[in-house]
Amino acid sequence: MSQSKNGESQTFTDFLRRIFKGVLDSMGSFLNRLGIRPNVVTFIGLLGNIMAGALMGMGHLFWGGLLMMIVVPLDALDGTMARLRGESSEYGSFVDSVTDRYSEIAIFSGLLIYFIRFGFWQDILLVFFATIGSILVSYVRAKAEANGFSAKIGLLSRAERYIILVLGIIFGFPKISLWILAVLANFTALQRIWHVRKQAKNL
């Protein structure tokens, strides 16, 4: 966990956005010149994740993971395009956040169907707890910020979760990735809850 110049915590997701800013700006400028809207990129990413989840549910883990890996960068690209257009807005951020959650649910749903068909009941519980942790990490931050607190901390931000999940799916060890998420994503949510509690006590 690093910190920005203003002292705010920086997640690994923020770090990646900063490292690849030049690449994202170039790609965003190109797509803007083509007349493609940021929301179009957002929904292409959502559709790609839904298709990836469907492939996993049908038993094609490698191809689902590969498609997931291809569309993940679109999550950063739509925001970059909006910024370059001077159209960044709270509503755009809201839409992006909502579609991110739908994307996560699509991926976990695909894995759930896969393990219902090919796994054991313990695997189904594993997907369940990994999903809870992943969704709660984002929910706790959103709820905290809505109430005037900061919750931009913790082990697994969205980038870490996706990297762990993609690697596990593509290389054939999805259970290991799910175990990591089931434990560490829920731990991250608890980290954020505790961080908000400390801020509330200092008011």
pLDDT digits (tens, 9 = 90+) for 185-202: 999 999 999 999 999 988
51-65, 81-95, 120-134: least confident range: 81-95
Look at residue 10 in the predicted model and tell me its pLDDT.
63
pLDDT over 90 at 13, yes or no: no
> Which residue ranges form the domains of the chain, and what is each CATH number?
7-201 (1.20.120.1760)
Catalytic entry in 75, 78, 96, 100? 100
Could you tell me the pTM of the whole model? Answer: 0.87
From 108, 111, 104, select the one nearest 60 (Cα to Cα).
111
3-state secondary structure (DSSP) of residue 1: coil
Q: Is 25 a catalytic residue?
A: no
**What pLDDT score does 92 carry?**
75
Number of Cβ within 10 Å of residue 86's Cβ equals 6
